[in-house]
């Protein structure tokens, strides 16, 4: 997709709106005071028609950009958005946490990573970011205001681990492991109090779920619409499972002949489950019953701006998805960005 260049953008916008070239030059120059990623995002956020492929919003003055850049070489995977409209992203390279405004697209690293990847994440109403620690076999909780690590939990010391995603229920944080046939539970105390390491539980998965020892297994995780059970997607098979959080017993969710091939991040909104199908460059939209035992495919969302999106977060009428670009060899200068689509 072609992308607007600052000089061309200023002249075209001046011609369109009748603004003096000197004023537009001043506006454009002022955007170049940040980092390269923030600079590009600031310019694009003022474009009158930056991206419109039928699903992405037309971007105008006063609206959030439907596309904004992340730092070069960042290698994003997870996303979470708080109520203020700040989006958080984790790096697969070193675990850094990057925060960006949905209004401007500008952002900065707020927490340095541990040197291992940060995968899926969720933010709670207290401004705490729960992060899945991938091959580190761990999870951590970060204060989004200070960037301080409030708690860190070791789930396993096995080298055959990949803690991939997390969801928050009313009394626990639940983490998937794509290499182990288990879920990890971090119980939350009164008023959301974070527990010590000794409180962490490992819940073996049983029932309909069949573990694949070679490929990725449990990946994205969500709650059922009634909040009583969990939903996981198994990337290796494309199957969705409902999981009893007390026992770990799984039942395959009845989608008829529909299979969530390349299923990655999950996102629930009321009875609607969004399933990011990463390498297919689309998001499946499913209508589930209250118990999460069966569902049907309603539609699929896609965009010409997608380049292997992995996870999704909701803000207003849009889904925001980071593009992991798994098929592009990562370098320190590789470009990464976020795409918004109308849900």
Q: Give the tens place of pLDDT for each residue, 75-124.
A: 999 999 999 999 999 999 999 999 999 999 999 999 999 999 999 999 99
CATH 3.30.479.30 is right for the domain spanning 71-342: no
The stretch 318-337 carries a mean pLDDT of: 98
31-73 residue pLDDT tens: 333 344 443 333 333 332 233 333 343 333 348 999 999 999 9
**pTM of this structure:** 0.82
230-257 residue pLDDT tens: 999 999 999 999 999 999 999 999 999 9
Q: What is residue 27's predicted lDDT score, i.e. its pLDDT?
A: 32
Whether the per-residue pLDDT at 297 is higher than 70: the answer is: yes
The stretch 281-291 carries a mean pLDDT of: 98
Tokens of residue 189, six digits: 């105390």
Residue spans per domain, the chain:
71-342
Q: What is residue 53's predicted lDDT score, i.e. its pLDDT?
A: 39
Q: What is residue 287's predicted lDDT score, i.e. its pLDDT?
A: 98
């Amino acid at each position: 997709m072609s992308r607007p260049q600052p000089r061309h953008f200023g002249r075209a916008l001046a011609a369109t709106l009748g603004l003096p070239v000197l004023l537009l030059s001043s506006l454009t120059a002022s955007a170049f005071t940040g980092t390269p990623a923030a600079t590009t995002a600031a310019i694009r956020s003022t474009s009158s028609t930056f991206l419109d492929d039928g699903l992405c919003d037309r971007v105008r003055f006063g609206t959030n950009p439907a596309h904004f850049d992340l730092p070069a070489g960042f290698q994003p995977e997870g996303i979470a958005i708080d109520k203020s409209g700040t989006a958080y992203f984790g790096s697969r390279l070193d675990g850094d946490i990057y925060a960006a405004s949905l209004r401007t697209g500008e952002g900065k690293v707020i927490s340095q990573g541990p040197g291992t990847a940060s995968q899926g994440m969720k933010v709670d109403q207290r401004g705490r970011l729960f992060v899945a620690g991938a091959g580190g076999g761990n999870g951590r909780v970060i204060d989004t205001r200070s960037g301080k690590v409030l708690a860190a939990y070791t789930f396993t010391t096995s080298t055959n681990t990949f803690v991939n995603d997390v969801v928050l229920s009313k009394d626990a944080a639940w983490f998937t492991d794509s290499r182990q046939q288990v879920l990890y539970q971090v119980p939350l105390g009164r008023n959301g109090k974070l527990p010590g390491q000794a409180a962490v539980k490992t819940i073996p998965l049983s029932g309909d779920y069949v573990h694949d020892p070679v490929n990725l297994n449990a990946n994205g995780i969500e709650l059922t619409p009634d909040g009583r059970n969990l939903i996981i997607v198994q990337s290796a098979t494309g199957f969705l499972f409902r999981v009893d959080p007390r026992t770990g017993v799984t039942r395959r969710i009845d989608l008829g002949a529909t299979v969530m091939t390349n299923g990655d991040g999950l996102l629930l909104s009321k009875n609607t489950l969004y399933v990011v199908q990463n390498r297919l460059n689309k998001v499946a939209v499913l209508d589930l019953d209250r118990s999460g035992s069966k569902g049907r495919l309603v539609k699929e969302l896609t965009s010409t701006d997608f380049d292997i999106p992995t996870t999704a977060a909701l803000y207003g009428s849009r889904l925001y998805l980071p593009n992991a670009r798994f098929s592009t060899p990562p370098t320190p200068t590789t470009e990464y960005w976020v795409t918004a689509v109308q849900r």
